[in-house]
């Protein structure tokens, strides 16, 4: 009788193979979480989805500008079926970025909170068995200033590549990267959040059918830079086993602050209405500010924009990674030269036209007329100093090198954008890849040359391979939105992406 009852109970729980009738519950080291099953057309096995699992304690009050603390345990079954709030950021910029890059059909609810250290998990594993699928941990982009985990639906990637996909959040902007350059606020809080998420994965992912010994970190733009920083950091040793940086590395100058960061900290403190007498005074005052007050300060600082009027050497369009002596003991250049980094298999890539449309549009480049003369190009290149760090005396030579071969003002505009893209993305990526290769680690490069049909209607038709365009292929947008031509590109790029994620599965790890 008991055997018959057991069989009936099993049949009730799984009405057919891969179609469980009751939602998944998984036990983590902090407590149980309740998820949901989501089916993807063409795949028999549904994907178990868990949203908003806390991996650290909310970084509120005295925990602001401090390393993340372990999450508090819970004794009940936590509902993990709702999107977590996005980390505090400029709401307008965050919404624009989400709408431009999402692979979802539906809109993500825009809710901001300083309490945001959560991750999402998409697992195709049969949770009734002891699966050990490869794990891919996604670090979103957004200039270390905006973005969210939930913008990216890991459903298609998980189902098609049979990998466990984890998308993580980390503190952004002032909350994530405010640094006084000393012990009072070292900075890099957002990167430390990324490390905390990776430690959580090591401790828990086996319960979700993942293999903690086969973790790939991958990210785009500032997420790619974050991956590159983690590759260089001794604190990340053994937390991941492969890495992919898309359109961003630790040599992307605008995202790494190598000089004295105190003046920028003082600017932020003044904008927030704080005294700048000492680092301790600034940090204490900023900790007392409400989330709304720091949001106002963020807007006052005019991040994410090109200053066309002031001295560009005094402009700070982004906060960023700092050389804190812990996460990064030395500058990225020094660590690479000394070959002191995690020599895991590493893929680095960029897109054909990184400055094709999105970045100039977001930063306010005055290029609406679609053409450019040599004199204006030199002026704009100088105003772009915080992005490219080209010395003023070298600007005429650099401009002539790129633009001097044509008198066509339309072509000059395109060549100017190529110059910005090369200095910001392409050249740093090649340098990073060469150092990684020279250290004896498996290293791969790609250039993405495709215009997805999901691109904004505002984007000029001539732009192919804009910043972020590969995301629709990486996350399988055609599976979720439906598009035949992009589907084939997604399948091909999926093979490349999973080749880093799945040992021996990929074309290029075997080449």
Q: Is 30 a catalytic residue?
A: no
Neighbours of 427 (CB within 10 A): 13
With helix as H, strand as E and coil as C, how does 270-287 read? HHCCCCCCCHHHHHHHHH
With helix as H, strand as E and coil as C, how does 187-210 read? CCHHHHHHHHHHHHHHHHHHHHCE
CA distance 327 to 68: 14
Q: Is 354 a catalytic residue?
A: yes
Residues of the chain predicted below pLDDT 50: 1-18, 484-487, 489-490, 495-511
pTM: 0.91
Can you tell me which residue has the tokens 């392409």?
A: 426
Q: Is 221 a catalytic residue?
A: yes
- Which pLDDT belongs to residue 459? 86
Considering the candidates 150, 354, 455, 506, report the single residue annotated as catalytic. 354
- Which pLDDT belongs to residue 17? 37
DSSP-assigned letters across all residues of 361-428: HHHT-S-TTS---HHHHHHHHHHTHHHH---GGGHHHHHHHHHTT---HHHHHHHHHHHHHIIIIIHH
Both tokens of residue 217?
């970190």
Q: Do 483 and 44 contact (CB within 8 A), yes or no?
A: no
Beta-carbon contacts of 360 under 8 Å, excluding residues fewer than 6 positions away, are 367, 417
Considering the candidates 185, 221, 490, 498, report the single residue annotated as catalytic. 221
In the chain, the domains with their CATH numbers are: 34-368+422-510 (3.40.50.1820)
Considering the candidates 245, 467, 470, 498, report the single residue annotated as catalytic. 467
Sign of the Cα pseudo-torsion (250, 352, 173, 344, in order): negative
């Amino acid at each position: 009788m008991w055997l018959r009852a057991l069989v009936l109970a099993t049949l009730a729980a799984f009405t057919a193979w891969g179609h469980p009738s009751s939602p998944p519950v998984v036990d983590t080291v902090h407590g149980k979480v309740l998820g949901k099953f989501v089916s993807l057309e063409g795949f028999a096995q549904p994907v178990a989805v868990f949203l908003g699992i806390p991996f650290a304690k909310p970084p509120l009050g005295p925990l602001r500008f401090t390393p993340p603390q372990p999450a508090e345990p819970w004794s009940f079954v936590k509902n993990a079926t709702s999107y977590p709030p996005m980390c505090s950021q400029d709401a307008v910029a965050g919404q624009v970025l989400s709408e431009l890059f999402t692979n979802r059909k539906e809109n993500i609810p825009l809710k901001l909170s300083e309490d945001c250290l959560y991750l999402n998990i998409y697992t195709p594993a049969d949770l009734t068995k002891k699966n050990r699928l490869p794990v891919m941990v996604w670090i979103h982009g957004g200039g270390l200033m905006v973005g969210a985990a939930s913008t990216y639906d890991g459903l298609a990637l998980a189902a098609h590549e049979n990998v466990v996909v984890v998308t993580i959040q980390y503190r952004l902007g002032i909350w994530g990267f405010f640094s006084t350059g000393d012990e009072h606020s070292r900075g890099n809080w957002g990167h430390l959040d990324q490390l905390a998420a990776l430690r959580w994965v090591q401790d828990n992912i086996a319960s979700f059918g993942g293999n903690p010994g086969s973790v790939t970190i991958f990210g785009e733009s500032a997420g790619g830079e974050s991956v590159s920083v983690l590759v260089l950091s001794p604190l990340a040793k053994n937390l991941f086993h492969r890495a992919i940086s898309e359109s961003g590395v630790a040599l992307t100058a605008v995202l790494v602050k190598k000089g004295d960061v105190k003046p920028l900290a003082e600017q932020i403190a003044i904008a927030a209405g704080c005294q700048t007498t000492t680092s301790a005074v600034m940090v204490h005052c900023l900790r007392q500010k409400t989330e709304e007050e720091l949001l106002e300060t963020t807007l006052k600082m005019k991040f994410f924009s090109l200053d066309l009027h002031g001295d560009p050497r005094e402009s700070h369009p982004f906060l960023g990674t700092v050389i804190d002596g812990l996460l990064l003991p030395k500058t990225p250049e020094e660590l690479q030269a000394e070959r002191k980094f995690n020599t895991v298999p590493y893929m680095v890539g960029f897109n054909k036209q990184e400055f094709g449309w999105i970045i100039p549009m977001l930063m306010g480049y005055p290029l609406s007329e679609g053409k450019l003369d040599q004199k204006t190009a030199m002026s704009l290149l100088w105003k772009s100093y915080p992005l490219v760090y080209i010395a003023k005396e070298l600007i005429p030579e650099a401009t002539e090198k790129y633009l001097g071969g044509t008198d066509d003002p339309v072509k000059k505009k395109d060549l100017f954008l190529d110059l910005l893209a090369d200095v910001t993305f392409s050249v740093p990526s090649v340098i990073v890849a060469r150092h990684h290769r020279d250290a004896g680690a498996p290293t791969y490069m790609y250039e993405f040359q495709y215009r997805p049909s999901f691109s904004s209607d505002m984007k000029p038709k001539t732009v192919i391979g804009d910043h972020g365009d590969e995301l629709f292929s990486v996350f399988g947008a055609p599976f979720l939105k439906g598009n035949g031509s992009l589907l084939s590109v997604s399948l091909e790029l999926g093979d490349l992406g999973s080749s880093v994620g799945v040992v021996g599965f990929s074309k290029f790890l075997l080449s």
